[in-house]
């Protein structure tokens, strides 16, 4: 209980309000009935706010194709275990199960996230959702559509969305999409695009969310590097 209270006190601020608070409030209230959620408010994105948003949107993706897969539950569990440890993971999975049984107004939830969450954190959410959808090795068209809708609701530019998607949905132009450029781009354009993307996706951009989320950001940063190195090799760029 102490660890769960720490998770709340250490982060859940604006996420307690609006539709996210409505989805999480009943379960949280039953666990920590001594805390008044209405008094915990902040304008800055905190680790707990990000986690609350992740849980709600993860539940929406898991329900998108009409069935909750064991592989999806295992993906979320593994993510939580890696980042939070056994005790906190058990609590977060209980919250997820509770949210899975509720109707989720994705548009309203995303509106709240968009109003309070910084852009790098929103990109991190989209990356996580693609990983979740791909947990069984195949991204269902309904899952992909919902992630696309979520991306639009969160004001993620098409180039950023396609870049993240290309990290999970391979095609012949995958590396170009990751760097947000066309196949006709010059070698110099590729170098400029890499510098821009390396800056955008650098793990330091999400230090305010905590070390656990920097690990996930580092994975995305590595994919940007891999795409650039692949194009360098393909074109013989020095």
pLDDT tens digits along 68-107: 999 999 999 998 888 778 888 888 898 899 899 999 999 9
Domain count, the chain: 2
- 197 lies in which domain range? 160-238
Predicted TM-score (pTM) of the model is: 0.72
- Specify whether 117 is located in the same domain as 196: no
- Specify whether 2 is located in the same domain as 119: yes
For 36: left if phi > 0, alpha if psi spans -120 to 50, otherwise beta; the answer is beta
Last residue of a domain, one of 132, 156, 180: 156
Instruction: Compute the half-sphere exposure of residue 229: CA atoms within 13 Å on the CB side of its CA.
Output: 6
- Specify whether 27 is located in the same domain as 41: yes
- Specify whether 123 is located in the same domain as 189: no
Report the C-alpha gap between 214 and 203 in whole angstroms.
5
- Specify whether 202 is located in the same domain as 138: no
Last residue of a domain, one of 156, 182, 206: 156
Give pLDDT tens digits for 80-90. 888 778 888 88
- Specify whether 133 is located in the same domain as 42: yes
Last residue of a domain, one of 123, 156, 189: 156
First to last CA, the chain: 55
């Amino acid at each position: 209980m102490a660890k769960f209270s720490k998770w709340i006190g250490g982060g859940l601020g604006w996420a307690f309000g609006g539709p996210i608070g409505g989805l999480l409030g009943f379960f949280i209230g039953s666990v920590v009935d001594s805390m008044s959620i209405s008094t915990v408010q902040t304008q800055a994105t905190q680790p707990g706010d990000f986690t609350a948003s992740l849980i709600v949107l993860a539940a929406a993706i898991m329900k998108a194709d009409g069935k909750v897969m064991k592989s999806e539950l295992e993906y979320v569990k593994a993510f939580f275990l890696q980042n939070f440890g056994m005790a906190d993971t058990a609590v977060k999975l209980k919250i997820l199960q509770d949210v899975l049984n509720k109707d989720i107004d994705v548009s309203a939830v995303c509106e709240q996230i968009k109003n309070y969450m910084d852009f790098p954190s929103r990109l991190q959410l989209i990356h996580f959702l693609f990983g979740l959808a791909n947990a069984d090795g195949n991204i269902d068209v309904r899952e992909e559509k919902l992630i696309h809708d979520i991306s639009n609701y969160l004001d993620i530019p098409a180039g950023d969305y396609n870049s993240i998607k290309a990290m999970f949905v391979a095609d012949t132009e995958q590396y170009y999409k990751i760097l947000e450029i066309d196949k006709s781009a010059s070698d110099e354009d590729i170098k400029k695009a890499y510098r821009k993307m390396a800056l955008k996706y650098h793990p330091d951009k999400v230090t305010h969310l905590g070390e656990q989320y920097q690990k996930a950001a580092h994975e995305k940063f590595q994919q940007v590097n891999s795409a650039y190195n692949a194009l360098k090799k393909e074109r013989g760029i020095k």
